């Protein structure tokens, strides 16, 4: 009985430490780097609704929801009502949301579900491309409700850039741009899932636990003999 309790305790400890590592939030300013840490993902490039409409919410292909936009945003189509989405091959026809000149937009976030090897897994990784309206360079910031943030300079005439995160428990975020950027557009959304990656101390705990289990098993065997 004691042996079983010890094994169970070690197993629970390992799971909790692994879950803790998976919940930590990491910010990204590059899609390729984000994809390295994401085991499966999918994108949403075409948004519902007519151009110049002001949606109250957006449900992405994986079921993640963006809503309660404050202030309101306006849907635009790249190549027509939104002039360009430079640097993104084949972007004409995709959609973006425009902040309508506002320097900052806050929205709620609810993660959905993506498939990994045919199995549903929760969205714990998210990202999108953002660019200023003005055809010059301005700082743009993505800030999560928990305070984590990433800022980078984006040239409205040279291409939208990626902003994203991995980690759970993100309930809302704010996108903001320098005054003078004339607002910004954001779109080309990505939803993904990351597999828990144990940290070195987690491996050490697991090895120590296995050693303890082996010791107890040998002692139990000796006592029985």
How high is the pLDDT of residue 84?
79
Map residue 35 onto helix, strand or coil: helix
How far is residue 211 CA from its own chain's centroid? 37
pLDDT more than 90, % of the chain: 68
207 has a pLDDT exceeding 90: no
Identify the helix (H) or strand (E) that includes residue 129: strand 125-132
- The CATH number assigned to the domain with range 23-193 reads 2.60.120
Determine the average pLDDT of the residues in 21-36.
Answer: 88
Residues 6+ apart with CB under 8 A from 180: 134, 138
Tally of CB atoms within 10 A around 166 = 21
201 has a pLDDT exceeding 80: no
17, 69, 84, 129, 143 from 89: Cα distances, Å = 41, 28, 11, 13, 27
When the pLDDT of each residue in the chain is averaged and rounded to a whole number, the result is: 84
Q: Which of 161, 140, 192 is nearest to 34 (CA)?
A: 192
**Is residue 165 within 8 Å of 95, Cβ to Cβ?**
no
How high is the pLDDT of residue 211?
57
Give the pLDDT confidence of 137-183 residue by residue, as tens digits: 999 999 999 999 999 999 998 889 999 999 999 999 999 999 999 99
Q: Which residues pair with 177 in a beta bridge?
A: 140
Give the pLDDT confidence of 75-100 residue by residue, as tens digits: 999 989 998 787 666 788 999 999 99
Greatest CA separation for the chain = 83
Q: For residues 55 and 20, which has the higher predicted lDDT (pLDDT)?
A: 55
Cα gap 133→76, rounded to integer Å: 12
How high is the pLDDT of residue 12?
37
**Is residue 124 within 8 Å of 5, Cβ to Cβ?**
no
- Name the residue ranges covered by the structural domains of the chain: 23-193
How high is the pLDDT of residue 6?
44
């Amino acid at each position: 009985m004691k042996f079983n309790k010890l094994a169970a305790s070690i197993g629970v400890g390992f799971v909790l430490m692994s879950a803790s590592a998976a919940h930590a939030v990491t910010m990204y300013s590059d899609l390729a780097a984000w994809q390295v840490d994401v085991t499966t993902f999918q994108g949403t490039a075409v948004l519902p609704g007519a151009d110049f409409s002001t949606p109250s919410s957006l449900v992405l292909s994986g079921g993640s929801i963006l809503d309660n936009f404050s202030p309101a945003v306006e849907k635009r189509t790249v190549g027509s009502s939104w002039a360009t989405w430079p640097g993104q091959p084949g972007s004409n026809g995709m959609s973006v949301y425009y902040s309508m000149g506002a320097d900052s937009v806050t929205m709620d976030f609810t993660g959905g579900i993506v498939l990994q090897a045919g199995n549903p897994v929760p969205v714990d990784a998210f990202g999108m491309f953002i660019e200023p309206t003005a055809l010059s360079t301005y700082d743009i910031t993505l800030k999560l409700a928990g305070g984590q943030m990433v800022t980078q300079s984006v040239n409205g005439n040279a291409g939208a850039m990626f902003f994203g995160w991995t980690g759970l428990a993100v309930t809302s975020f704010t996108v903001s741009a320098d005054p003078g950027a004339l607002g910004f557009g954001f779109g080309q959304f990505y939803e993904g899932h990351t597999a828990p990656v144990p940290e070195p101390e987690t491996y050490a705990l697991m090895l120590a636990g296995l050693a303890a289990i082996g010791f107890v098993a040998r002692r139990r065997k000796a006592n029985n003999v």
